[in-house]
């Protein structure tokens, strides 16, 4: 059984009457890259801030690496690396001095930990330039270097690619994938840039208005978002027989007595229509379907808003 | 805790602010010494090591105000730069963060005090004539410093509690000034208007005790009162500050 790295149960944060996070149940297993998807203000940062003890939950429990209670969680936080909101450092210190400060403070042995972290984040050539003169991208990289310095088992990253240039985004993605592959680092990454998460995540949590709408594996999501032809027929059983016998395909799903999703023949809808009509199946619509992560998310929150 | 203190020292002693503030204070002391030396060189017989060194006793309240600077040097606008989250998210206990910064600010204050008082006394010693009263002057300065130390510690604890609790360092400093210097005047007014108890309370304010210290030279009882009062203030301010910081939302 995979090690449970992070579990939250009923995690709730209330600011006055506003619910920033509403009974959130998260489960992260070792080696997962968990994409927390939501719009700005959906509650992603609040959840990460509760996990990192920056704010106290109004209700609910957090368990890091199976720890029981806040005292044990506090010890386990030394196994995590976090980058929450904008990277924050002392403006008058340079990159190396800032990391050295935190290395000493955290008792991380070996001065080469700083060099390794800077190299991993692609920030080796900043010299004596103080943090206050860094570009946004450089600040993000330094934030990542700090999060990596203790070789964490769990990385908590809140909107980490904000401010990175396209090259930086690719490097960053590759770095996370490498950490995940080589060190089995578990990653919780929040973003509203869904195309980036789609390249990384092995699991998703969709959040809106503080409510975790759905947790789903990347494999299952990709299945749900798979491109298909949606056939609206009068008799799905009869249509299924036609697809099997006349079009020689079993790559379809019968969703209801009148709806079939066909995953083959995507470029030949005319052939499908002809076969069904010739077999006497009443066909009312043939629609190409399929969604990317963005469409799926929008569909999810749209559904909730309409509910 | 040792790692935390070492890291804070690493940060503080790489900050220009500390050296600039020290340099300004040393320059002001230089101006004071130059002023005395000018009058001495014009033939003023009153200027001696004894008379000039005793000025230290008049500047004790200045030491209390200096705690705003030493506190600021160490606290480093944590809320403005949002750097506290890096410490909290790593699981460092909040009491370690609070006490670590307080202890380093005290160490910086003691160091700055040693440099400033040492520079001034050394200047007096080198520039002005000596007499048989030199020992008495040094003893009086020593007494004043011994009495002022716990009261400065109390002020430092109040200032740090304000910096930790108020998100703006400027507003934190204002709150500190209000507690340390405005409150005694309020107590004085209340003492006249409402009840003498307020006047008694005023007598236990660090700023008032620092002002009175030079009038109680070599009074062991007053020295003990300074230590007890200073430590009570220190403990209370630290306890309240740390308690509030435990639940503080870090951004």
Q: Which has the higher per-residue pLDDT, B133 or A14?
A: A14
Separation between Cα atoms, residue B212 and residue B190, nearest integer Å: 20
Q: Are A270 and A188 in the same domain?
A: no
pLDDT at residue A304, as a whole number: 43
Task: Identify the helix (H) or strand (E) that includes residue A113.
Answer: helix A112-120
Q: Is A180 found in the same domain as A278?
A: no
- From chain A residues 139-198, the ones with a CB under 8 A of any chain B CB are 146, 150, 156
Q: Residue B58: its pLDDT value, please?
A: 80
Whether A156 is in a domain gets the answer: yes
| Residue B49 CB partners (closer than 8 Å, separation 6+) | B124, B125, B128, B129, B130, B131, B134, B137
Domain presence at residue A300: no
Structure tokens at B41: 């060189």
Per-residue buried b or exposed e for B31-69, using 16+ beta carbons within 10 Å of the residue's own CB? ebbeebbeebeeeeeebbbbbbbbebbebbbebbebbbb
pLDDT of residue A283: 86
Give, in degrees to the nearest 5, the angle at Cα B64 between B58 and B102. Answer: 150
Model confidence band, residue A291 (pLDDT cutoffs 50, 70, 90): low
Span B136-194, pLDDT tens digits: 888 888 888 899 999 999 999 999 999 998 888 888 888 888 888 898 889 888 888 88
* pLDDT value for A307: 32
Tens digit of pLDDT for each residue in B218-238?
Answer: 888 888 999 999 999 999 999
- Would you state the pLDDT for residue A191? 80
Helix, strand counts (H, E) of chain B: 14, 0
- Residues paired with A253 in a beta bridge: A261
* Domain shared by A10 and A95, yes or no: yes
- Residue with more model confidence, A223 or A141: A141
* Residue B105 near residue B75, CB atoms below 8 Å: yes
Would you state the pLDDT for residue A119?
Answer: 86
- The mean pLDDT value for B58-81 works out to 83
Q: How many domains does chain A have?
A: 2
CA A194 to chain centroid, in Å, comes to 8
- The answer to whether residues A60 and A160 belong to one domain is yes
Query: Partners of A4 in the beta sheet?
Result: A29
Residue A1 has pLDDT above 70, yes or no: no
A305 pLDDT band, cuts 50/70/90, is: very low
Whether A156 and A265 map to the same domain: the answer is: no
The distance of A145 to chain B (nearest Cα, Å) reads 12
Residue A263 pLDDT > 90: no
Residue whose tokens read 């995590």? A80
- Domains held by chain B: number: 1
Question: What tens digit of pLDDT does each residue of A172-222 get?
Answer: 888 888 888 888 889 999 887 777 777 788 888 888 888 888 888 877 777
Inform me whether the C-beta atom of residue A85 falls under 8 Å from chain B C-beta atoms.
yes
The CATH number covering residue A282 comes to 3.30.70
Report the CATH number that the domain containing residue A199 is assigned in CATH: 3.40.50.300
Is A84 within 8 Å of B88 when comparing Cβ atoms? Answer: no
* Inter-chain touch A77–B90, beta carbons under 8 Å: yes
- Report the predicted TM-score, pTM, of the whole model to 2 decimal places: 0.81
CA angle A211, A30, A175 (to 5 degrees): 95
Q: Sign of torsion, CA A130 A136 A139 A145?
A: negative
Which among B76, B91, B247 is the nearest to A77, CB-wise?
Answer: B91
Cα atoms found within 13 Å of the Cα of residue A23, Cβ hemisphere only? 1
Stretch A236-261: mean pLDDT, rounded? 86
Q: Please, how many CA atoms are within 13 Å of residue B94, restricted to the half-sphere of its CB?
A: 22
B88/A54 touch (CB, cutoff 8 Å), yes or no: yes
Categorise residue B168: left if φ over 0, alpha if ψ from -120 to 50, beta otherwise: beta
Given a contact cutoff of 8 angstroms between Cβ atoms, the answer to whether A289 and A243 are in contact is no
Q: Which domain holds residue B137?
A: 2-246
Q: Which of A61-70, A152-161, A215-224, B15-24 has the lowest mean pLDDT?
A: A215-224
Segment B119-140 mean pLDDT: 87
- A46: CB partners within 8 A, 6+ apart: A13, A20, A21, A55, A210
pLDDT of amino acid A302: 67
Q: How crowded is the C-beta side of B31, counted as CA atoms within 13 Å?
A: 6
Q: Are residues A234 and A209 in the same domain?
A: no
Average predicted confidence (pLDDT) for chain B: 88
DSSP label of B48: S
Distance CA B44, CA A233 (A): 114
Both A209 and A240 in one domain: the answer is no
Nearest alpha-carbon partner for A273 in A244, A306, A233, A215: A233
Whether A60 and A181 map to the same domain: the answer is: yes
Q: Does A63 touch chain B (CB under 8 A)?
A: no
Q: Which of A222, A246, A277 is the last residue of a domain?
A: A222
- Nearest CA to B155 out of B56, B234, B75 is that of B234
Pair (A30, A156) in one structural domain = yes
Residues A245 and A123 in one domain: no
Beta strands in chain A (DSSP E): 4-15, 18-29, 33-37, 59-64, 80-83, 154-158, 186-191, 203-208, 211-217, 228-233, 252-256, 259-262, 283-289
- Give the closest residue to B152 by CA, choosing from B184, B215, B108: B108
Beta partners for B127? none
Residue B251 lies in a domain: no
Instruction: Tell me which residue in A78, A93, A156 faces B91 most closely, judged by beta carbons.
Output: A78
Domain that holds residue A232: 227-290
* Residue A180 shares a structural domain with residue A237: no
Of A222, A257, A278, the position where a domain reaches its end is A222
Contact between chains at A90 and B85 (C-beta distance less than 8 A): no
CB contact under 8 A, A101 and B249: no
Residues A113 and A186 in one domain: yes
Q: Three-state DSSP class for B92?
A: coil
How many other CB atoms are there within 10 angstroms of residue B251's CB atom? 15
């Amino acid at each position: 059984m995979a090690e449970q790295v992070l579990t939250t149960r009923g995690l709730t944060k209330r600011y006055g009457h506003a619910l920033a996070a509403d009974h959130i149940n998260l489960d992260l297993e070792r080696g997962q890259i968990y994409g927390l998807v939501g719009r700005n203000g959906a509650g992603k940062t609040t959840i990460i801030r509760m996990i990192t003890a920056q704010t106290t939950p109004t209700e609910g429990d957090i368990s890091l690496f199976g720890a029981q209670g806040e005292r044990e969680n506090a010890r386990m936080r030394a196994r995590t690396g976090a980058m929450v909101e904008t990277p924050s450092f002392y403006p008058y210190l340079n990159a190396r001095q800032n990391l050295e400060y935190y290395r000493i403070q955290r008792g991380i042995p070996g001065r080469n930990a700083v060099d390794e972290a800077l190299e991993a984040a692609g920030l080796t050539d900043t010299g004596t330039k103080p943090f206050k003169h860094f570009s946004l991208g450089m600040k993000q990289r330094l934030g990542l270097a700090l999060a990596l310095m203790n070789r964490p088992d769990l990385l908590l990253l809140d909107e980490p690619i904000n401010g990175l240039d396209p090259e930086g985004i690719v490097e960053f993605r590759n770095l996370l994938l490498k950490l995940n592959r080589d060190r089995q680092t578990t990653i919780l990454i929040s973003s509203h840039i869904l195309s980036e998460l789609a390249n990384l995540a092995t699991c998703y949590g969709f959040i809106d208005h503080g409510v975790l709408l759905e947790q789903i594996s990347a494999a299952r999501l990709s299945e749900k978002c798979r491109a298909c032809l949606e056939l609206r027929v009068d008799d799905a059983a009869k249509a299924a027989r036609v697809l099997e016998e006349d079009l020689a395909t079993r790559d379809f799903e019968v969703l209801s007595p009148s709806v079939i999703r066909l995953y083959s023949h995507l470029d030949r809808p005319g052939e499908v229509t002809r076969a069904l009509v010739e077999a006497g199946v009443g066909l009312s619509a043939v629609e190409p379907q399929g969604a990317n992560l963005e469409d799926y998310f929008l569909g999810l929150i749209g559904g909730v808003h309409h509910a | 805790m040792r790692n935390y203190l070492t890291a804070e020292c690493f940060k503080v002693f790489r900050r220009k602010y500390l050296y600039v503030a020290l340099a300004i204070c040393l320059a002001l002391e230089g101006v004071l010494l130059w002023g005395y030396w000018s009058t001495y060189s014009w033939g003023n017989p009153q200027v001696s090591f004894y008379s000039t060194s005793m000025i230290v006793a008049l500047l004790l309240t200045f030491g209390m105000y200096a705690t705003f600077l030493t506190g600021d040097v160490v606290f480093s606008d944590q809320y403005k730069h949002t750097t506290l989250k890096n410490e909290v998210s790593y699981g460092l206990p909040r009491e370690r963060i609070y006490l670590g910064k307080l202890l380093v600010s005290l160490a910086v204050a003691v160091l700055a005090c040693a440099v400033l008082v040492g520079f001034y006394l050394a200047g007096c010693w080198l520039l002005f004539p000596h007499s048989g009263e030199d020992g008495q002057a040094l003893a009086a300065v020593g007494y004043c410093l011994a009495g002022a130390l716990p009261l400065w510690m109390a002020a430092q604890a109040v200032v740090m509690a304000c910096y930790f609790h108020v998100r703006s360092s400027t507003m934190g400093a204002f709150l500190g000034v209000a507690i340390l210097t405005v409150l005694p005047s309020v107590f004085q007014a209340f003492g006249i208007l409402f009840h003498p108890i307020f006047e008694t309370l005023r007598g236990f304010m660090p700023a008032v005790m620092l002002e009175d210290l030079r009038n109680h030279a070599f009074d062991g009882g007053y020295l003990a009162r300074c230590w007890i009062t200073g430590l009570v203030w220190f403990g209370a301010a630290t306890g309240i500050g740390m308690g509030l910081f435990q639940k503080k939302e870090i951004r």
